[in-house]
Structure 1
Amino acid sequence: MKQLAKKLTDEGLDKKQILIVNFEDPRFTQLDSKLLQKIYETYLESLNLEDKPYIFLDEIQEVEDWERWVRMMHELGKAKIIVSGSNAKLLSKELSTLLTGRHIDLTIFPLSFREFLFFNNIEVKEELDIISKKIEINRLLKEYFEFGSFPEVALNPEKGQILLSYFDDVVNKDLVRRYRIRKPEKLKSLAMFYLSNISSQTTFNALRKHLSISTSTVE
């Protein structure tokens, strides 16, 4: 989002016409459409804008009924709105239903290995580049396989901690909340078991014994 905002200012847009809000900020306590309207009104009161503002709403899935407010703003033509989220609530099919005909999707994927190399200051344009940097490329390939290719992880020395936080977010936000899991700790244990035994065969009965839960729950 910040890259897009910077691109807009580089193209001549006044910085005052850009508002970026991250709804994972702990200072936000009442996460609903009323908060969105309050933020918008406060923003307009603070600045004398001549043109439509660009409003960037990050982690929008945290806000209840956000789609109604965004749909209203779009229909009234009051602002150009960009929303983003890292949660399963924003799956494309659901988003299409919420904002029929009013949105363009932009899906951000993890880094390809070529992009991963570029992040680590290695640019591969021809075969000679691979030969001359073979040892470093092989080292980075092992790192790529071990830690994956999320952009935030790629250059951070605390890779393991970041990946664990991603894991917790997926379990707690995408799965537990979405499917109303009654025993989140069991789900987390099950997920950890699968991730730790990815190349091993197992049975539902073995999982039942290992996790002390019923076979039907495992299934």
Structure 2
Amino acid sequence: MKLCIKYLINEKKINPLHVLYVSMDDFLFIGKSIIEIVENFKTIHKIKNEEHIYLFLDEITFVEDYELQLKNLYDKGNSKIFASSSSASLLQKQKGYLTGRSVTFEVLPLSFEMYLQFKNIVINKADGHLKETYFKDYLLTGGIPEYVLTNDVAYISELMDNIIYKDIAAVNGIRQIRQLKDYFLLLMERSGKTMSINKVAKVLGISTETSKRYFDMFCDTFIVSPVTRFGKLNEQLVSPKKIYCCDTGIRTYYTGERDWGALFENYVYLRLKHLNLSYVYENTTELDFISLNKILIECKFHNETLNEKQQLLFDNFKATEKYIIRTYNDV
């Protein structure tokens, strides 16, 4: 949001006094309506009702009846409204007031190309060999803008603590914070692998229901994404899900691993998740992804090769297209 604000002010030359950013989870704004905040803003800056303003409302789901309030603001006109939330589950519980009035989209971490731009890195054709070095740096660092710019590892820790405490525990009334954080660490360890909710429950000494609830919460806040097994419905339901972290830098920070193959697979998933991916598992052999339109994908970083069983499954599997992805250029 703040990058968008900078763009409006610096590039579009919007009057800064006509731009309002509010984090709705801030203690100062608890109990205050959005309309009240906006009216106070207009009064302070002597903004007339017919003048256009830009509203950036972070963590909007902390506001009761936020949909109705946003609808009222929208219907009044002269407002461009940007609202965000880190909780998908709360956004999904909308009552319909914003139907036809809003566009919802998921903001992803920086791509490799954007990462280079953020770091002000320009690679000439003659220095093309350096791109691979920077790509490995990107896999380790990830694409969280603030972390990319500062390289301050404390930021990642603070970010994840805020999500766990504020967006998950506080919203869902969970008091076992240590238990929730241990669950998160296990998710990071399993990133890129299948995860059994029952086994995690046993490791942490919690019920299967609690394990399933925690898992859904981390998915709803976009920390991890689940990938189901390709096949019939009963196979999908009984088979464990593979999980992928929302950012390779977060995964690296918490696992300490520099497994290039696993990081690359996570990267490929994030780039292709819009294709509605599943994983293939037949006769104890696994292939990474198959899309909804039957495109088969196996990730093998650089010189990694398929083993004999994988090659056989890859060759014989019925798909519209087949790809072995080895570098960032293949995605």
Q: Does TM, scored on the shorter chain, surpass 0.5?
A: yes
Task: From the superposition, tell whether residues 16 and 174 of structure 1 become closer, same or farther in structure 2 (CA, over 3 Å).
Answer: closer
* TM-score between both structures, scaled by the size of structure 1: 0.74
**Superposed displacement of residue 106, structure 1:** 4.9
Deviates more, 1:108-117 or 1:13-22: 13-22
Residue matched to 1:162: 155
- Give deviations 1:104-149, integer Å, cap 9, x for gaps: 335432111111122222235xxx63x51524x3333223222311
Equivalent position of 1:17 in the other structure: 18
- Residue matched to 1:65: 65
Q: Tell whether the 8 Å contact from 1:61 to 1:89 is kept in structure 2 after alignment.
A: no
Structure 1 residue 178 displacement after superposition: 4.6
Using the TM superposition, give the Cα deviation of residue 188 of structure 1 relative to its aligned residue in structure 2, in angstroms: 1.9
Distance 2:69 2:83 in 1: 15
**Structure 1 residues 162 and 214: alpha-carbon distance in aligned structure 2, compared to 1, 3 A threshold:** same
Judged with a 3 Å threshold, the aligned counterparts in structure 2 of structure 1 residues 48 and 191 are, in CA distance, closer, same or farther, namely closer
| Identical pairs, percent | 24
Contact kept in structure 2, 1:92 and 1:105, CA below 8 Å? no
2:21 alignment partner, SS class: strand
Q: Secondary structure at the match of 1:19?
A: strand
1:193 aligns with 2:186: yes
2:64 is paired with a residue whose SS is coil
Contact in 2 for aligned 1:116/1:149 (Cα 8 Å)? yes
Equivalence for 1:105: 104
- What is the one-letter code of the residue matched to 1:163? I
Instruction: Verify the 8 A CA contact 1:16 1:49 in the aligned structure 2.
Output: no
Distance 1:45 1:119, change over 3 A: closer
2:39 counterpart (35, 38, 41): 41
For 1:149, which of 137, 143, 148 is the aligned residue? 143
Cα pair 1:87 1:174 within 8 Å, conserved:
yes
> Which 5+ residue runs of structure 1 have no aligned equivalent?
none
Per-residue CA distance 1:162-217 (angstroms, 9 max, x = gap): 22223223333443345444534322211212212446777556534432223443
Secondary structure at the aligned position of 1:83 is classed as: strand
Distance 1:182 1:51, change over 3 A: same
The more displaced of 3-12 and 148-157 is 3-12
Residues 188 and 75 from structure 1, CA distance in 2 versus in 1: closer, same or farther, beyond 3 angstroms? same
Correspondence 1:203-214 to 2 at 5 A:
206-214=199-207
Q: CA deviation at 1:66?
A: 2.2
Verify: 1:140 aligned to 2:134, yes or no: yes
- Name the structure where helix makes up a greater proportion of residues: 1
Match of 1:75 in 2: 75
CA distance in 2, matches of 1:163, 1:68: 34
Per the alignment, residue 169 of structure 2 pairs with 176
Between Structure 1 and Structure 2, the one with more strand by share is 2
* Whole-angstrom CA distance in 2 between matches of 1:208 and 1:71: 42
Q: 1:95 to 1:144 in 2, by over 3 A?
A: farther
Higher relative contact order (CA 8 A, sep 6+): 1
RMSD of the TM alignment (CA)?
3.3
Between the aligned partners of 1:150 and 1:215, the Cα distance in structure 2 is 32
Distance verdict in 2 for CA 1:54–1:209, change over 3 Å: same
- Would the aligned equivalents of 1:19 and 1:56 in 2 still touch at CA under 8 Å? yes
Q: Which residue of structure 1 lines up, in the alignment, with residue 55 of structure 2?
A: 56
Paired residue secondary structure (2:150):
coil
Unaligned runs of 5+ in 2: 213-331
1:57–1:82 contact (8 Å) kept in structure 2: yes
State whether residues 89 and 174 of structure 1, in contact with CA within 8 Å, keep that contact through their aligned partners in structure 2.
no
Instruction: Check whether the contact 2:20–2:54 (CA below 8 A) recurs between aligned residues.
Output: yes
> Following the alignment from structure 2 to structure 1, what is the Cα–Cα distance between the partners of residues 57 and 42?
19
- Number of residue pairs matched by the alignment: 209
What letter matches 1:193 in structure 2? L
Alpha-carbon distance, 1:73 to partner: 1.8
3-state SS in 2 of match to 1:155: helix
Q: 1:66 to 1:157 in 2, by over 3 A?
A: same
